[in-house]
Structure 1
Amino acid sequence: MNRVAPTGILGFPVTPLDDQDQVDELALTHNIEFLLDSGLEAMFVACGAGEYHSLELQEYESLVEIAKSVVGDKVPLYTGVGGNITDALRKAEVSERHGVDGYLIMPPYLIHGEQEGIFQYFNTIASHTDLNAIVYHRNNAVMQLSTLERLARTPQVVGFKDGYGSMELNIEFTQTLGDRFSWLNGMPMAEVTMPAYVPLGFKSYSSAISNYIPHISRKYFDALLSNDKEMVNDIYQEVILPINRIRRQGKSYAISLIKAGMEIVGLPVNSSNVRPPVTPVTKEHYQQLEEILKKAHDKYPVDFTKSL
């Protein structure tokens, strides 16, 4: 087992749903192929963007099986587990059975546990299989240094994904634990904050916009790493910040805005098909996103026919 988490731009495919609220398996296959063709460094299926919270076990296993058949050994394949710990353990077993590389452990359901409870939650799931595990630091699973140090003794825990945004904690974590973990930026629309994370040793981030404009995600990240400030600033002003302003308008937009963007560029996703409590993007915001993406493609063109 290669005990290293993926680096680079990480793909988090959505779960396409048809008009009968069933998983659209052909659309999922197509969308994963699109991300692979776009050069993303890893796939994370059935995670937050994939509406993990609403997937029952059979659907989950179908997603994992499809993703494994499409991804193969091209890039690392991770799944999402978490929430209800019993359910998380079952899904960890499914992931192991289908031969994925690891899983992202999302926060527990509802409860704000003490540090001991947070440790036990992450450690129980991570040690349940021999797959790699990445712990997701956010919401009701915010760790202190002592908790992360204890998790560092569990060999399956290879990565730390931050969705909390405390730079004080991130500095303490990275300075103390260094290369023991791979460090992933999991903040909302992570392109917005990545310039603050790179100097701390964060070499990966989850990109929501890569679901529909992966070539711009790549152009942005390459410019950031090469210190091309002019290009970074241009992409911020033309693409990233305008999309992020829309994203902040809806609590469901972490998922539904991705589906809207995919639909706009012609990918096989019906943006109206989401499961409660997620709601679709409003018509006004959909039109705003359309305009942003039109301008983005005019300025940073790509031949989508190669991927579609």
Structure 2
Amino acid sequence: MPITRKAPTGILGFPVAPFNEQGKIDEKGLEANIQFLLDEGLEAIFIACGSGEFHALNTSEYEKMVEVAQSVVNGKVPVYTGVGGNLSTALEWAKISENKGADGYLILPPYLIKGEQEGLYEYLRTIIDSTSLNAIVYQRDNAILQLPTLQKLLDLPQLVGLKDGYGNMELNIQLTQTVGKRLGWLNGMPMAEVTMPAYAPIGFDSYSSAISNYIPHVSRMFYNAILNQNQELVTELYQNVILPINSIRHRKSGYAVSLIKAGMEIIGLPVKNTVRPPVVPVDKEDYRDLEKVIESTFQKYPKTQKSVLS
């Protein structure tokens, strides 16, 4: 079957890495997380990426998470994995992704080193060219591509998208308006709902939604409001849901990951507020504040279908 060379569009699901009391991957919790995202209509599953604590996984755990994702998704939507960091490990995990039947992978930044553009090009080219899978490059931290570098990578048919987590809108406009529809453009900023109204007009037609792990109906409501230019609803959701959660997220480093697990636990999904160092779990006061926001959200914006919230 020929590979579809197109990046996913819409709202993208990024499951977490649930851990049990022994600190091992909780496969049942992961299955529930992925099934919840599928039931809520998210357009793709990105497994073992940033929200999935990519940085803290070993190879056997990574392989297991990919297997669980493939089993639960079962071809309903595309499955992308996370690769990156050390080049040797990135190549190994890219091959695992291919062997397990993933549709593609998101290439996270290389480990620690801030390279020149030529070095970044060689790092990305080596990974992208190592398999036939679709590849999306993640623009953030020590991996910021300038236009000439990205244009060189366009020779590789496997490259289907760029996910931006950097937030330089001048650079984003230069990239999107020059490269155009050759690539899919994904908003990967932390709490991407905050910035999506600025990204959508320049060609970013998808985003990774952290809150979709616990209030996906709000993610969908917000995304539709942007597409329909319903500014009144966008502002209302900002004031009542998105900005209050974002304020809590900024209280401690690492809450970009652990706050997701706290939200999932609050609505009744089998995921404990447990993370691996250096990320820290959400403390009690912040947890209670998030609980209040979520309860208020369900009161103001009840789901039209059965909710996980008991």
Q: Please indicate the TM-score interval, normalised by the length of the shorter structure.
A: over 0.9
1:300 aligned onto 2:301:
yes
The aligned residue for residue 46 of structure 2 is 44
Residue of 191, 198, 201 corresponding to 1:199: 201
Deviation of 1:305 (Å): 4.4
The aligned residue for residue 10 of structure 2 is 8
Kindly report the root-mean-square deviation, in angstroms, between the aligned alpha carbons of the 2 structures.
1.0
Instruction: Count residues with an aligned counterpart.
Output: 307
Residues 171-193 of structure 1: CA deviation (Å, up to 9, x unaligned): 10011100110000000100000
The aligned residue for residue 290 of structure 1 is 291
1:246 aligned onto 2:243:
no
When normalised by structure 1's length, the TM-score is 0.98
Deviation of 1:72 (Å): 1.2
Deviation of 1:286 (Å): 0.6
The aligned residue for residue 20 of structure 1 is 22
Residue of 155, 158, 180 corresponding to 1:156: 158
The aligned residue for residue 86 of structure 2 is 84
Residues 117-161 of structure 1: CA deviation (Å, up to 9, x unaligned): 111111111110000000000000011111110111111110000
**1:158-307 counterparts in 2 under 5 A?**
158-271=160-273, 273-302=274-303, 305=306
Specify the code of the residue in structure 1 equivalent to 2:170.
E
2:217 aligns to what SS in structure 1? helix
Residue of 17, 36, 44 corresponding to 1:34: 36
Sort the Cα spacing of 1:102 and 1:200 in 2 relative to 1 into closer, same or farther, 3 A.
Answer: same
How far apart are the structure 1 equivalents of 2:24 and 2:298? Answer: 32
1:107 aligns to what SS in structure 2? coil
Contact 1:136 1:161 in 2 (8 A): yes
How far apart are the structure 2 equivalents of 1:84 and 1:40? Answer: 30
Residue of 129, 146, 157 corresponding to 1:127: 129
How far apart are the structure 1 equivalents of 2:305 and 2:258? Answer: 22
Deviation of 1:278 (Å): 0.6
The sequence identity of aligned pairs, in percent, is: 61
Specify the code of the residue in structure 2 equivalent to 1:114.
E
Contact 1:81 1:104 in 2 (8 A): yes
When normalised by structure 2's length, the TM-score is 0.97
Specify the code of the residue in structure 1 equivalent to 2:111.
Y
The aligned residue for residue 101 of structure 1 is 103
Listed as ranges, the gaps of 5+ residues in structure 1 are: none
Deviation of 1:283 (Å): 1.1
How far apart are the structure 2 equivalents of 1:122 and 1:192? Answer: 29
Residue of 54, 58, 63 corresponding to 1:61: 63
How far apart are the structure 2 equivalents of 1:31 and 1:168? Answer: 36
The aligned residue for residue 117 of structure 1 is 119
Contact 1:37 1:307 in 2 (8 A): no
Deviation of 1:284 (Å): 1.1
1:100 aligns to what SS in structure 2? coil
How far apart are the structure 2 equivalents of 1:65 and 1:262? Answer: 22
Contact 1:8 1:40 in 2 (8 A): yes
Listed as ranges, the gaps of 5+ residues in structure 2 are: none
How far apart are the structure 2 equivalents of 1:67 and 1:11? Answer: 11
Specify the code of the residue in structure 1 equivalent to 2:294.
L
Deviation of 1:306 (Å): 5.5
Deviation of 1:303 (Å): 6.3
Residues 104-124 of structure 1: CA deviation (Å, up to 9, x unaligned): 000011000000111111111
How far apart are the structure 2 equivalents of 1:300 and 1:123? Answer: 45
Deviation of 1:250 (Å): 1.2
Deviation of 1:249 (Å): 1.1
Deviation of 1:280 (Å): 0.5
How far apart are the structure 1 equivalents of 2:304 and 2:239? Answer: 23
How far apart are the structure 2 equivalents of 1:269 and 1:7? Answer: 27
How far apart are the structure 2 equivalents of 1:13 and 1:279? Answer: 18
